[in-house]
C-alpha cells in the first residue's frame, strides 16, 4: 500500500493538520447555521463515486484530502480507479477525468456518459467558462452527434512541449561555440559528435542523436520532420483540405535526410527500440549529444533531466536550443491548447441534487484557491510552500517527506485534483516566470498542432492504431536503409488502402463542420 511508504510521523503530522482544519471548520459551520437558523445544518451528505486522477497508481481510501472534501462540500466520497474493464462491467463513477477525445468517444459510444449542456457549464462555472470560451474548438473535440460529452480543460503554456537539449560541453569540445539553430548547423554538430570523439576517450563510441519508434502516437525525430514542415500521424491543413502528415511528400524528404545520417553512422542504430527514458540515459552516459526533451525538464536547475545528468555526470553541461529551422520552417510535435477532459456518469442525469453538487465542486476546483491547493498541493507549511521564502505567490515546492509523488498520493494529494481546470488567474499567481519565459522561447506552439486537436474520428478505432504502426515500421526501415526510399509510393498506397482514405474523408468532414474558421 502507498501509505506504508510514508514515515508514520509525516503522515500523522499531515493528518493532524488537516483534521484540525476540518474540526474548526465543522464547528464554525454548525455555529453559523445554528445562529442563522438555516435548515441545512444536518443535511444528509450527497454520495459521490469519484474516479481518482487517472495518472495515479492506486486508490487510497479515506485519505486526509478525501475527508477535507467531504467536510467542505457535505459529500460522502467513494474513490475508485477507472479502467476500461471497470467501465465495461458497469462500474461507472459519477465524476472522473479522461485524457483524450478518443477516450471520451469510446465511453460515449458505450452509453456510460451523460451529455452536458454547454449553458450549464457557462452558468455554473462562469469564471472558468470566461477563460475557455474563446477556444471553442476544445468543445468541438468532444462534441458527438451535436451534443457535448465532456468539459474540456486547457493549457496555454505547456512545460511538456519538446525542444532540443544539447551537451554544451560536447559542442565546446568539437569547436562549436553557438547552439545550432538551423538544420544545417544541427547537421554539422551531430556529425562532429559522431566523428570527432567529443568525450575524449579515444574510441569511436558516440553518436549525434537517436529517436524513438516506440511511441503510441508518433514516429520520433519530431524536430527533424518539423524542419520540413510536417509531423507524421498529425492532421494538417493544406490548400483548405486536411492531409495526414504521414503521407505528405515532405515526410519523404525528411526520411532521405535521416537515412543519410544513419548510413553515415550519425544516428544511434538502437533508435528503433529507444524510448524517451532510454535516450535520456544515453545523454547522461555520453553515447549521444542531443535529444528532444520536454522544456520543463531542462529549463531550470531543478529540472528532472538536469538533475539526472548531475547525478551521473556532474561535470557535463546541458543547454536548451530551439528546434532547427529547415526548408519547411521549424517546429515539433505539439498537443495544442487541449489538456484533459472531465466527464460525468450517465446515471447522474437522473439525480439533480448530485449533478448540482458536482458542479459546485467543479467550480471550486477551477476557481477556489483553497480547494485547488488542497487537492493539488496539500497543506501549506506541511506539504508544500512557495519556492521563495516569505513569498505569497509564484512557484511552489514540496517539502521533505512529500517530495515524491507516492508520498503525496498516500495522503490524497493529486488523487482528487482535476488538473488544468483552474482559471488563468490562479495559474498566473502560482506560475514560475522563469519557466514561462523558457516555454515562450523554445516552444513551437501554438502553430504546430493537429488541425482537429486530436478529436476522435468515427473510424479511428478500426484503423488508427494499425496505421500508426504501419507508418512507424516503414519509416524505421527507410531510415535504417532496410528498404529503399523508392518504396515510398508503395507505403502511401498501403496507408490509404488500409483505412487512410476513409479517415481522410472523415477528418475533412469533421473539419468543415466543426473546426474550420
- Give the 3-state secondary structure of 262-288: HHCCCECHHHHCCCHHHHHHHHHCCCE
For 228, the grid coordinates are: 520540413
Angle (CA) 407-410-414 rounded to 5° is 85
Beta carbons within 8 Å of 500's beta carbon, 6+ residues apart: 244, 246, 247, 463, 467
Q: What pLDDT is attached to residue 3?
A: 32
Task: Identify the residue whose cell numbers are 462540500.
Answer: 73
Strands 46-51 and 75-80: parallel
DSSP 23-43: HHHHHHHHHHHHHHT-GGGGP
Helices (H) and strands (E) in the chain, counts: 21, 14
Q: Write the DSSP symbol of residue 145.
A: T
For 328, the grid coordinates are: 519547411
* pLDDT of 8 over the 50 cut: no
Place 41 in a pLDDT band, splitting at 50, 70 and 90: low
For 406, the grid coordinates are: 507516492
Q: What pLDDT is attached to residue 169?
A: 97
For 456, the grid coordinates are: 476522435
Q: Are 480 and 486 in contact (CB under 8 A)?
A: no
* pLDDT of 100 over the 80 cut: yes
Cα 206 versus chain centre, distance: 31
Residues in the chain: 517
For 419, the grid coordinates are: 488538473
Q: Which of 256-260, 275-279, 382-386 shows the lowest per-residue confidence on average (mean pLDDT)? A: 275-279
Place 358 in a pLDDT band, splitting at 50, 70 and 90: very high
Q: What pLDDT is attached to residue 371?
A: 98
Residue among 423, 422, 411, 416 nearest 69 (CA): 416
Residue among 165, 120, 243 nearest 500 (CA): 243
pTM: 0.84
Residue among 517, 419, 406 nearest 140 (CA): 517
* pLDDT of 39 over the 90 cut: no
Buried b vs exposed e over 20-35: b needs ≥16 C-beta within 10 Å? ebbeeeeeebeeeeee
Cα 225 versus chain centre, distance: 21
| Cα atoms in the 13 Å half-sphere on the side-chain side of 21 | 20
Q: What is the mean pLDDT of residues 246-257?
A: 98
pLDDT digits (tens, 9 = 90+) for 459-504: 999 999 999 999 999 999 999 999 999 999 999 999 999 999 999 9
Amino acid at each position: 500500500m502507498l501509505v506504508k511508504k510514508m514515515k508514520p510521523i509525516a503522515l500523522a503530522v499531515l493528518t493532524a493538520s488537516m483534521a484540525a482544519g476540518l474540526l474548526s471548520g465543522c464547528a464554525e459551520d454548525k455555529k453559523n447555521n445554528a445562529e442563522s437558523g438555516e435548515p441545512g445544518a444536518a443535511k444528509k451528505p450527497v454520495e459521490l463515486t469519484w474516479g481518482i486522477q487517472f495518472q495515479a497508481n492506486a486508490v487510497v481510501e479515506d485519505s486526509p484530502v478525501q475527508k477535507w472534501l467531504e467536510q467542505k462540500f457535505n459529500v460522502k466520497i467513494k474513490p475508485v480507479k477507472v479502467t476500461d474493464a471497470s467501465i465495461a462491467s458497469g462500474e461507472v463513477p459519477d465524476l472522473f477525468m479522461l485524457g483524450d477525445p478518443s477516450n471520451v468517444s469510446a465511453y460515449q459510444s458505450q452509453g456510460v456518459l451523460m451529455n452536458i449542456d454547454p449553458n450549464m457549464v457557462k452558468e455554473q462555472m462562469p469564471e472558468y467558462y470566461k477563460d475557455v470560451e474563446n477556444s471553442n474548438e476544445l468543445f468541438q473535440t468532444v462534441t458527438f452527434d451535436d451534443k457535448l460529452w465532456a468539459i474540456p480543460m486547457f493549457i496555454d503554456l505547456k512545460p511538456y512541449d519538446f525542444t532540443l537539449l544539447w551537451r554544451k560541453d560536447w559542442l565546446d569540445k568539437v569547436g562549436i561555440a553557438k547552439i545550432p539553430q538551423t538544420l544545417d548547423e544541427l547537421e554539422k554538430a551531430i556529425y562532429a559528435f559522431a566523428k570527432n570523439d567529443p568525450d575524449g576517450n579515444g574510441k569511436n563510441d558516440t553518436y549525434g542523436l537517436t529517436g524513438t519508434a516506440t511511441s503510441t502516437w508518433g514516429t520520433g525525430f519530431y524536430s527533424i520532420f518539423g524542419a520540413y514542415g510536417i509531423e507524421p500521424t498529425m492532421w494538417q491543413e493544406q490548400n483548405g483540405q486536411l492531409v495526414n502528415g504521414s503521407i505528405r511528400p515532405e515526410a519523404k524528404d525528411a526520411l532521405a535526410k535521416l537515412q543519410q545520417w544513419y548510413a553515415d553512422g550519425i544516428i544511434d542504430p538502437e533508435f528503433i527500440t529507444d524510448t524517451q527514458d532510454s535516450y535520456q540515459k544515453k545523454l547522461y552516459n555520453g553515447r549521444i549529444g542531443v535529444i528532444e526533451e520536454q522544456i520543463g525538464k531542462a529549463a531550470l536547475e531543478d529540472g528532472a533531466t538536469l538533475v539526472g545528468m548531475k547525478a551521473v555526470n556532474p561535470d557535463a553541461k546541458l543547454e536548451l536550443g530551439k528546434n532547427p529551422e529547415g526548408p519547411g520552417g521549424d517546429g515539433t510535435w505539439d498537443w495544442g491548447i487541449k489538456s484533459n477532459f472531465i466527464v460525468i456518469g450517465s446515471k447522474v442525469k437522473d439525480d439533480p441534487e448530485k449533478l448540482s453538487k458536482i458542479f459546485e465542486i467543479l467550480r471550486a476546483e477551477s476557481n477556489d484557491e483553497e480547494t485547488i491547493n488542497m487537492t493539488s498541493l496539500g497543506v501549506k507549511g506541511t506539504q508544500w510552500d512557495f519556492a521563495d521564502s516569505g513569498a505569497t505567490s509564484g512557484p511552489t515546492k514540496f517539502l521533505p517527506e512529500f517530495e515524491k509523488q507516492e508520498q503525496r498520493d498516500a495522503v490524497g494529494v493529486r488523487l482528487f485534483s482535476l488538473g488544468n481546470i483552474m482559471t488563468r488567474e490562479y495559474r498566473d499567481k502560482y506560475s514560475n516566470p522563469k519557466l514561462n519565459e523558457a516555454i515562450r522561447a523554445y516552444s513551437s506552439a501554438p502553430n504546430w498542432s493537429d488541425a482537429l486537436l486530436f478529436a476522435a474520428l468515427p473510424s479511428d478505432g478500426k484503423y488508427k492504431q494499425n496505421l500508426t504502426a504501419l507508418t512507424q515500421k516503414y519509416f524505421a526501415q527507410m531510415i535504417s536503409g532496410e528498404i529503399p526510399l523508392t518504396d515510398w509510393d508503395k507505403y502511401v498506397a498501403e496507408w490509404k488502402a488500409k483505412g487512410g482514405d476513409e479517415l481522410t474523408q472523415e477528418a475533412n468532414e469533421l473539419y468543415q463542420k466543426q473546426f474550420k474558421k
